[in-house]
Structure 1
């Protein structure tokens, strides 16, 4: 271990010497055009040591290595690369606002954006993505009620995710897929793609039409972040169990059979904050990942979570109208709808989680 003290700030770090050698940022070790390392880890001697180190300036450290290499490091790079700093940045960098119905209504003005303004201004796109990071849900208004314009609005912000549903999908009560969404039935609050190894990060929905004689079909949204925080506060044993127990999900139709097993609540191991809520009572497969003697505890905990989700104060209900597109974080916000009558056509799409986060990261919105 190499112990360093910064003369100006007094900050102290202790570094593994192999780690420091592995993180040399010179042109021989790092391709500065691609930001990729130029060498295989096994090319470094396992016993590589710092023979000498000295401060070239208050901010630059020079190290001479036992393998003959010389490295220069910026102090800020060394300090910011430590685990404690990463945890601190992750905790502070993203200001998330957990919400229930009343909080959502108070902040609705921050969640609505106009398509003409988005098309005209990159700044408006950044504001939309910032709101999506913070609240997990936004609306784009003034979108002509066609799948083509729905797609244009989405692609202004993100690339689309292709699944067996396609990139863009239009659905009604015609049973094109083995999914309750393709009916007129009530659908309770849920997240999509629990049966995918990597569920969509974002989901978009746009009501293209609902015939004049039609009734119902109101959508409702629930902030999973707020619900999970409530579960942790009120039912800590249930929270712990649902973070731990893997729950199988599957989707089956002609030519498709998707399966994935993971806990309902996924937590960041560094910060303890929610990463993903994976909740869909409809897509659950045969539950065979827990001994029968532990089933009572699981079902009791699961019911406590569902009761929180279905609490009326948690549910933000609104009727999606032609011309307004909703985009929500499928790893955080649950959605559902009431049963309906009449002809109702919806258009929608998914965005991969990695593309959503990449966009937010390049805009400086997340770590």
Structure 2
């Protein structure tokens, strides 16, 4: 290990020499236009080492002459904050997301809304919308004319649209165009979509275009992040089990057979931060990923989790009206609806997770 002490701050940078040489950011190592590395890793000698190190006068940058005749300049503070230990510690105290139950989200509902006119004309409104999605996992666009074309216009102002076998934009009612309970008038419990996909959609969008000659159909939302944290604090063993057990999901219809297994609670291996929640009691496939001797413990944990998710304190219920479009984080927020009567038509789409996070980074909302 190489130890480099900043005399001004007293901090000591402890790094692997090869790693440091690999992270040179000079024009010979990095393409300034593409931000990509320009060299083959094997171009660097395995035994490369610094010949001398010298801090510049400001004490922030230091220069290194390497044994492979390469010269590098580094930002000490940038490297120090980039170390595993610092990254792990900072993300464990992530304050960009606010877990919520019904009372908390109602207190903050004013932060979740923008109107379409502002969204189209103002980059600030775009940032407000994406910021709400990062912090609370849900946001609304108001004053959207109730048709699929305007739904699409509103979303494309902010994100590209994800294409699946449902298409890009989709319009649905109780006509059974697909083998899915969503295409009925029945009650739908809290769930995330696409548990059968290898890469579930990052965002889901819903817009009620019309509801005629009937009642019901209220939508409800639950913050899975809050529910998972409650499970952690109340039933740690249940949390750890749902973090570990692979739960299979599948979708089967003519010409389509999607299948994937993953834990209900996905935690980052480095930071222990909850990064994805998967919950869909409808799309579960044959459950054969653990021995039968462990089934009782699994179902007990699953039931504890569902009791938190389905509690009245967790669930925010509201009636989606024509003209209001809701976006929610499909890796975090569970959604469902009450049964309804009459004729109701919805439009919507998905956004890939990578496109959602890319937009948030461009806006400076996350790293």
Asked if 1:190 is matched to 2:191, the reply is: yes
Asked if 1:55 is matched to 2:55, the reply is: yes
* Alignment deviations for residues 303-346 of structure 1 (CA, whole Å, 9 cap, x no partner): 11011111011110011100000000000000000111111000
**In 2, Cα distance between the equivalents of 1:28 and 1:216?**
64
Q: 1:42 corresponds to which residue?
A: 42
Q: 1:98 corresponds to which residue?
A: 99
Q: 1:284 corresponds to which residue?
A: 284
**In 2, Cα distance between the equivalents of 1:85 and 1:119?**
39
* Alignment deviations for residues 38-70 of structure 1 (CA, whole Å, 9 cap, x no partner): 111122111111122222331221112121211
Q: 2:339 corresponds to which residue?
A: 339
Asked if 1:319 is matched to 2:323, the reply is: no
* Post-superposition offset of 1:92: 5.0
Q: 1:27 corresponds to which residue?
A: 27
* Alignment deviations for residues 73-100 of structure 1 (CA, whole Å, 9 cap, x no partner): 1212321221122234434564211111
Q: 1:124 corresponds to which residue?
A: 125
**In 2, Cα distance between the equivalents of 1:298 and 1:6?**
51
Asked if 1:78 is matched to 2:79, the reply is: yes
* Alignment deviations for residues 121-148 of structure 1 (CA, whole Å, 9 cap, x no partner): 1011101111110000011100000000
Q: 2:166 corresponds to which residue?
A: 165
**In 1, Cα distance between the equivalents of 2:311 and 2:234?**
14
For structure 2, list consecutive stretches of 5 or more residues without a partner in the other structure.
none
Which deviates further from its counterpart, 44-53 or 283-292? 44-53
* Post-superposition offset of 1:188: 0.3
* Post-superposition offset of 1:279: 0.5
**Post-superposition, which runs of at least 4 consecutive aligned residues in structure 1 deviate over 6 A?**
none
8 Å Cα contact 2:92/2:272 also seen in 1 = no
* Post-superposition offset of 1:156: 1.1
Which deviates further from its counterpart, 286-295 or 84-93? 84-93
Q: 1:347 to 1:220 in 2, by over 3 A?
A: same
8 Å Cα contact 1:94/1:366 also seen in 2 = no
* Post-superposition offset of 1:109: 1.0
Which deviates further from its counterpart, 70-79 or 80-89? 80-89
Q: 2:110 corresponds to which residue?
A: 109
Q: 2:296 corresponds to which residue?
A: 296
**In 2, Cα distance between the equivalents of 1:183 and 1:122?**
38
Asked if 1:17 is matched to 2:14, the reply is: no
8 Å Cα contact 1:94/1:365 also seen in 2 = no
Q: 1:241 corresponds to which residue?
A: 241
* Post-superposition offset of 1:179: 0.6
Which deviates further from its counterpart, 96-105 or 70-79? 70-79
Asked if 1:355 is matched to 2:352, the reply is: no
* Alignment deviations for residues 12-53 of structure 1 (CA, whole Å, 9 cap, x no partner): 111100000101111111111111001111221111111222
**In 1, Cα distance between the equivalents of 2:185 and 2:357?**
34
* Post-superposition offset of 1:275: 0.4
8 Å Cα contact 2:48/2:66 also seen in 1 = yes
Please report the TM-score for the alignment, with normalisation by the length of structure 2.
0.98
Which deviates further from its counterpart, 102-111 or 188-197? 102-111
**In 2, Cα distance between the equivalents of 1:89 and 1:32?**
29
8 Å Cα contact 2:188/2:339 also seen in 1 = yes
Which deviates further from its counterpart, 68-77 or 343-352? 68-77
8 Å Cα contact 1:93/1:366 also seen in 2 = no
**In 2, Cα distance between the equivalents of 1:221 and 1:30?**
45
State the secondary structure of the residue aligned to 1:258.
Answer: strand
* Post-superposition offset of 1:271: 2.1
State the secondary structure of the residue aligned to 1:364.
Answer: coil
Which deviates further from its counterpart, 184-193 or 99-108? 99-108
* Alignment deviations for residues 199-246 of structure 1 (CA, whole Å, 9 cap, x no partner): 0000000000000x2111111000001100100000100000000011
Aligned residues: 366
**In 2, Cα distance between the equivalents of 1:99 and 1:253?**
36
State the secondary structure of the residue aligned to 2:134.
Answer: helix
Which deviates further from its counterpart, 83-92 or 261-270? 83-92
State the secondary structure of the residue aligned to 1:313.
Answer: coil
State the secondary structure of the residue aligned to 1:365.
Answer: coil
8 Å Cα contact 1:275/1:331 also seen in 2 = yes
* Alignment deviations for residues 251-280 of structure 1 (CA, whole Å, 9 cap, x no partner): 111111111111000012222121011000
